[in-house]
């Protein structure tokens, strides 16, 4: 007897570069600045809040859309920060992490034959979700220069066709660390206004913006908010990536379709964690202080790299730092990242992995969401460059 053959829904997908580099880092005892997660714990008060919810008996299914107290807290936060009031009952949905929110949003609105514009380099879940929905990915590359990465909005407008259903954006941006400013949102709005095009805005790093910049959420832009799914992540904000809790905010009509898919691919999300998060959100200080917390780490890391031959690109947001290594090596990005990991014992991610074409730019990405001691150890090793 033999296992029947199965035609893959994602024939181009293999082991991710993140898994590959993390395994290589473990094998060689390298400091892992590759995969994007902290090596420090969360606030003990958050764990206590979850424990209290468990002990209080909050351990059965919650509402499919999320615990009401948490949805109210999310709606209040968005209104305070960005000026738009989403109705907690009909426009906020709690999800099993941001990736589930992104995939569900795509599945609910992209149909076979539809096109979805994806700005590259891009987080690796966008394109597979579009393919699973039967849509066509239309990749469009950011421009990169001495001032960092930027979106060429004229090219985005030129890529729009009658089949365009969705534009996927990400700010603060993984992997580049760039941010969209108000002029960017205005440019996007001018493209989609008076069309049937929807926007999926990945805002999981919304609280990590530096140098006094004010974060520009799509929720703050009236034209865009009316046609957008806005996604964020408690895992990124509260240093609990393994909890996999996020949310999506969208107008009621879009949320209704989102929830139709959500109820059948997840149904609902961990109950005590939702109650714990709702209680913890009563104090806004942890997320309001996140930019300062991570700017310290960014500045520490950038100051250490300044003495090397690596060229620092701007890092206006997220907890990622991209560097141009072409003054150091002519190796392709994946090979240079492997060399860093095996020889200097510091793991990074090749930015080419974030392009559908595998475009080579001589750039790798480091994650600085680490203890200061971890960053200093990595910098000691990178000083050899």
In percent, how much of the chain has pLDDT > 70?
Answer: 100
How big is the CA angle at 160 (ends 155 and 164), to the nearest 5 degrees? 145
Own/partner pairs, 124-133, CB within 8 angstroms, 24+ separation = 124/16, 124/353, 124/354, 125/99, 126/102, 126/168, 127/356, 128/10, 128/13, 129/102, 129/103, 130/106, 130/166, 131/9, 131/10, 132/9, 132/10, 132/103, 132/106, 132/107, 133/106, 133/107
Provide the pLDDT for residue 309.
97
Q: Tell the burial category of 55 from Cβ atoms under 10 Å away from its Cβ (0-12, 13-18, 19+).
A: exposed
Q: Say if strands 228-233 and 198-202 run parallel, antiparallel, or are unpaired.
A: parallel
How far apart, in Å, are the Cα atoms of 40 and each of 44, 178, 375? 12, 24, 12
CA–CA separation, 291 and 303 (whole Å): 18
Provide the pLDDT for residue 14.
80
Provide the pLDDT for residue 159.
98
The mean pLDDT of the chain is 97
CA–CA separation, 385 and 380 (whole Å): 10
Provide the pLDDT for residue 12.
85
Per-residue pLDDT reduced to its tens digit, 99-132: 999 999 999 999 999 999 999 999 999 999 999 9
Contact 363, 351 (CB under 8 A): yes
Provide the pLDDT for residue 17.
84
Domains and CATH numbers, the chain: 17-42+289-382 (3.90.1150.10), 45-286 (3.40.640.10)
pLDDT bin (cut points 50, 70, 90) of residue 69 is: very high
In percent, how much of the chain has pLDDT > 90?
Answer: 94
Residue 228, pLDDT > 80, answer: yes
The SS3 call for residue 366 is: strand
Provide the pLDDT for residue 146.
76
CA–CA separation, 82 and 10 (whole Å): 37
């Amino acid at each position: 007897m033999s296992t029947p053959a199965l035609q893959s829904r994602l024939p181009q997908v293999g082991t991710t570069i993140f898994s590959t580099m993390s395994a290589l880092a473990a094998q060689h005892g390298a400091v892992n600045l590759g995969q994007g997660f902290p090596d420090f714990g969360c606030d003990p008060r958050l764990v206590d809040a979850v424990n209290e919810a468990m002990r209080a008996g909050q351990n059965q299914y919650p509402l499919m859309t999320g615990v009401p107290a948490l949805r109210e807290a999310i709606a209040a936060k968005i209104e305070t920060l960005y000026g738009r009031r989403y109705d907690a009952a009909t426009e906020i949905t709690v999800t099993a992490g941001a990736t589930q929110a992104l995939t569900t949003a795509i599945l609910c609105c992209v149909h076979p034959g539809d096109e979805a514009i994806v700005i590259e380099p891009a987080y690796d879940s966008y394109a597979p979700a579009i393919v699973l929905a039967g849509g066509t990915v239309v990749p469009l590359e950011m421009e990169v220069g001495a001032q960092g990465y930027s979106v060429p909005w004229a090219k985005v407008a030129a890529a729009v066709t009658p089949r365009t259903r969705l534009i996927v954006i990400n700010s603060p941006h993984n992997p580049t660390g760039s941010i969209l400013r108000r002029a960017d949102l205005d440019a996007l709005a001018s493209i989609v206004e008076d069309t049937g095009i929807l926007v999926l805005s990945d805002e999981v790093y919304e609280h990590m913006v530096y140098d006094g910049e004010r974060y520009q959420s799509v929720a703050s832009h009236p034209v865009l908010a009316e046609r957008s799914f806005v996604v964020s992540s408690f895992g990124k904000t509260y240093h609990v990536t393994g909890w996999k809790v996020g949310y999506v905010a969208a107008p009621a009509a879009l949320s209704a379709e989102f929830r139709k898919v959500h109820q059948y691919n997840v149904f609902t999300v961990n109950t005590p964690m939702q109650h714990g998060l709702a209680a913890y959100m009563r104090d806004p200080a942890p997320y309001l202080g996140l930019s300062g917390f991570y700017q310290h780490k960014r500045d520490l890391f950038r100051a250490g790299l300044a003495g090397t031959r690596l060229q620092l690109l701007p890092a206006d947001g997220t907890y990622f730092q991209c560097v141009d290594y072409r003054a150091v090596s002519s190796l392709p990005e994946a090979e240079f990242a492997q060399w860093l990991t095996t020889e200097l014992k510091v793991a990074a991610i090749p930015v080419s992995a974030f392009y559908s074409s595998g475009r080579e730019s001589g750039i790798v990405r480091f994650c600085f969401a680490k203890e200061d001691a971890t960053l200093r150890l990595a910098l000691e090793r990178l000083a050899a460059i």
